[in-house]
Amino acid sequence: MKKRAFRILLVLTMAWILFVGCRSNNQQPTVNESENISAEPEIAETSKGANKSRRFGATFMTLNNPFFVTLNEGLKKAVEANGDKLITLDPQLDLNKQIAGIEDLIAQGVDAIFLNPVDWKGIKPALETANKAGVPVFVVDAPVFDDDLVVATVASDNWEAGVLAAKHLTETLGIIEGNVVILEHPTAKSAIERTDSFIETIKKYPGLKIVAQQSSDGQLEQAMPVMENIIQANHDITVVMALNDPTALGAIAALEAAGKSNDVKAIYGVDGSEDAKKMVKEGKMTATAAQYPSEIGKIAVDTAYKYLNGEQVEHEIKVPVKLLTKENVEVDGNNGF
């Protein structure tokens, strides 16, 4: 009986060995092999997560301005050079749209946001939302009032832009008397600094009198009718200081339409755009304080990557400006536009 049981057990054992051997020859996984196969994708996913591509958001006060278009291209080029993605929004000077856009970028899970605010004070709720969500904000071109809510601000030396224009007017051209028109943008800190520094610098010349100071929101389309109204109220205009090039171009168009171009002795803009440089060469614009939008974009992206990688970054980074006149625009006019 015991021998018979032993023979049965031996037959079963041999059958099992043959069965397992057949499975191995057919490359079918054992239980342990299945666990190893499922573990391999997990390791790959972990590795991918450590080197995952980043997504950045960017929102500008408007893209209806060559300066911001070029700045955005600078951001995009620098981000894509790292294999990452930039999502750009244009709220078209609408603060509520910009705030909603920032909330949407946060919901999309961006790693950081580049911000050019529509309203330097009104943007605060969006900054607070980003802070609560742990999304770092990097300001480009136009500072925010609550700069403790952003990691860094990368902008032109906007105060110097106004000073350069004022000094050129009074020291280079020697114009220390006449009526001055200021075309401003009171919700953009960059514009405020340019016009404020111009006004501050010409204060020591009492013969220069500001006869009009009005907003154009930095838009050519708005600057022209604003300037037309100013011309009607002030027949004798000596100087126009515009917060940016589109505004200066709008003022020039209004002066030409009114037949007053030759009566105005000096017109200043800020940006160094292609259209403005052309006007400077033709003598229709006195000078433009050139900014370097591509460089601002590159510096902002470099700063963001450093911060995301755990490095210390500067809170405020100023990019120098250069006054372009008829005398130097050909040599110094390559500013990234």
DSSP label at 328? T
Contacts of residue 101, defined as CB under 8 A and 6 or more positions apart, other chains included, come to: 59, 89, 91
Q: Is the distance from CB of 239 to CB of 209 less than 8 angstroms?
A: no
Q: How much is the average pLDDT of 274-303?
A: 97
CA-based radius of gyration for the chain: 32
State the pairing for strand pair 137-140/85-89.
Answer: unpaired
For the stretch 167-196, pLDDT in tens is 999 999 999 999 999 999 999 999 999 999
For the stretch 107-141, pLDDT in tens is 999 999 999 999 999 999 999 999 999 999 999 99
Query: What pLDDT, on the 0 to 100 scale, is given for residue 51?
Result: 58
Q: How much is the average pLDDT of 86-114?
A: 97
Q: How far is CA 307 from CA 76, 83, 88, 152, 311, in A?
A: 18, 18, 21, 10, 5
In CATH, the number for domain 55-155+293-319 is 3.40.50.2300
Query: What pLDDT, on the 0 to 100 scale, is given for residue 3?
Result: 39
Sketch the domain layout of the chain as residue ranges. Answer: 55-155+293-319, 158-290
Query: What pLDDT, on the 0 to 100 scale, is given for residue 335?
Result: 85
Q: Residue 180 pairs with which residues in a beta bridge? A: 210, 239
Do 55-155+293-319 and 158-290 come out as alike in CATH topology? yes
pTM greater than the 0.85 cutoff: no
Q: Using alpha carbons only, what angle is made at residue 91 by residues 228 and 287, rounded to the nearest 5 degrees?
A: 45
Cα separation, 233 vs 267, in Å, equals 18
Q: Which CATH class is domain 158-290?
A: alpha beta
| Mean pLDDT of the residues in the chain | 87
DSSP label at 151? S
